[in-house]
Copies of this chain bind each other. A is one copy, B any other.
Amino acid sequence: MNDHPSVQSVLVVGTGLIGTSIALALREHGVTVKLADQDPGAVRLARELGAGDDWAPGGARVDLAVIAVPPQFVAQWLLDLQKTEAARFYTDVASVKVLPIAQAAQLGCDMSTYVAGHPLAGRERSGPAAARADVFLGRPWAYCPGPETSPEAVEAVRSLIKLCGGNAVEVDPVSHDEAVALVSHAPHVAASAVAARLADASETALGLAGPGVRDVTRVAGGDPGLWTVILSGNARPVAEILEAVAVDLAAAAAALRAVSVDDDAAIGRVTELLKRGNAGQRRIPGKHGGPPGAYAVVHVQVGDRPGELARLFQVAKDAGVNIEDVRLEHAPGLLLGAAELSVQPEAVEVLAGALRAHGWHVP
């Protein structure tokens, strides 16, 4: 028995990455978890990971059903589960919210027991094997109660979020979909369009690639099938942002074509876009939810040998410095790199001094 009496038993429908991760997190709190998936192999793998037991339709009613299937299938599952009174309350985890809510209302689902939800967790991998109980820790988890939603249903979903370690954010469905279009879906398509240019690039061009283009295009490695479904389910908000980005890029291209030593106005239009980019980039929250750039960075040269980083962190520990973040920058083709250690600004000199005293090269 956990601290949330309204969530003692949960049914997870869809044992992919998110569904299985939720199941694992709930199991850590002693919640009884039942698992269902149209793929028996996915259920078996989730069960073997300790995520719960197979669901037997028609068995005892659970407190809460978590529908972790693609957005366009949420409403039908909700209807079917409600018909058999599978659970007292229902939620989903789809990355868009307007579509499943509208479809559920259209199908005549009981909207008093359903609270749409969306945990903002990583999606670079997929499948139950990649599931981890801690993927929701401290992350935003949006939920969208409607006018008909009962307070008990909201309480059950808030308990679920708390048990998973998420940060509950109440938001209306339209605002939710516009928000994720802006901070996730449209950036994904833009990254894909940049990466697409590299598909036929020469080896010479790829040989000159550095960390910048790797960062810009990293999310473009995501699963096209999964992302097509996500984007299709949030089509209008994503389209609006992509159109605005396309206009900005076409304008930048036109300005660059007009650039000459004398055309200050054209050059100014390029600068203006870059400045807007600066302003937007600065507004993205940093780690720990704090303001971006709150830490100072210490550079240190490191060799690529076992124990090198252990020694380095030991020196930091002995100096009483907490390393907030670390970024390794390997020199391509060399077993030598630079570590960027993010620390509180007041710890910079302490750490740099300690590292130098132990023979590290801190430029």
**Chain B residue at minimal CB-CB distance from A297:** B125
Q: Mark A157-200, 1 if CB is under 8 A from B, else 0.
A: 00000000101010100011011101110111111111111110
A126: chain B residues at CB < 8 Å are: none
As a 0/1 sequence over residues 315 to 351 of chain A, the CB contacts with chain B under 8 angstroms (1 = contact) are 0110011111111111111111110000000000000
Name which residue of chain B comes closest to A49, CB basis: B363
Contact B228 A216 (CB under 8 A): no
Q: Interface 1/0s, chain A 216-228, versus B by CB < 8 A?
A: 1111111011011
Query: Which among A36-44, A104-112, A284-292 touches the partner chain?
Result: A284-292
Contact, CB under 8 Å: B322 / A313: no
The count of identical subunits is 2
* Among listed A55-63, A79-87, A147-155, A250-258, interface-contacting one: A250-258
Q: Which residues of B contact A205 (CB under 8 A)?
A: 175, 178-179, 182-183
Q: How large is the interface on A (under 10, 10 to 19, 20 to 34, 35 or more residues)?
A: 35 or more
Q: Contact between A197 and B288 (Cβ–Cβ < 8 Å)?
A: no
A239 near B: Cβ within 8 Å? yes
Q: Which residues of B contact A246 (CB under 8 A)?
A: 246-247, 249-250, 253
* A167-B332, A239-B254 known, 6 other contacts, Cβ within 8 Å: A182-B197, A190-B190, A193-B245, A213-B284, A289-B333, A314-B314
Taking Cβ atoms with an 8 Å cutoff, the residues of A that contact B are 24, 72, 120, 122-123, 131-135, 137-140, 142, 165, 167, 169, 171, 175-176, 178-180, 182-184, 186-199, 201-202, 204-222, 224-225, 227-228, 231-232, 235-236, 238-250, 252-254, 256-257, 259, 261, 267, 270-271, 273-285, 287-289, 299, 301, 304-307, 309-310, 312-314, 316-317, 320-338, 361, 363
**Cross-chain pairs A/B with CB under 8 angstroms, 12 sampled:** A137-B337, A179-B205, A189-B252, A192-B274, A192-B276, A195-B280, A220-B274, A228-B267, A236-B257, A287-B330, A288-B334, A327-B327
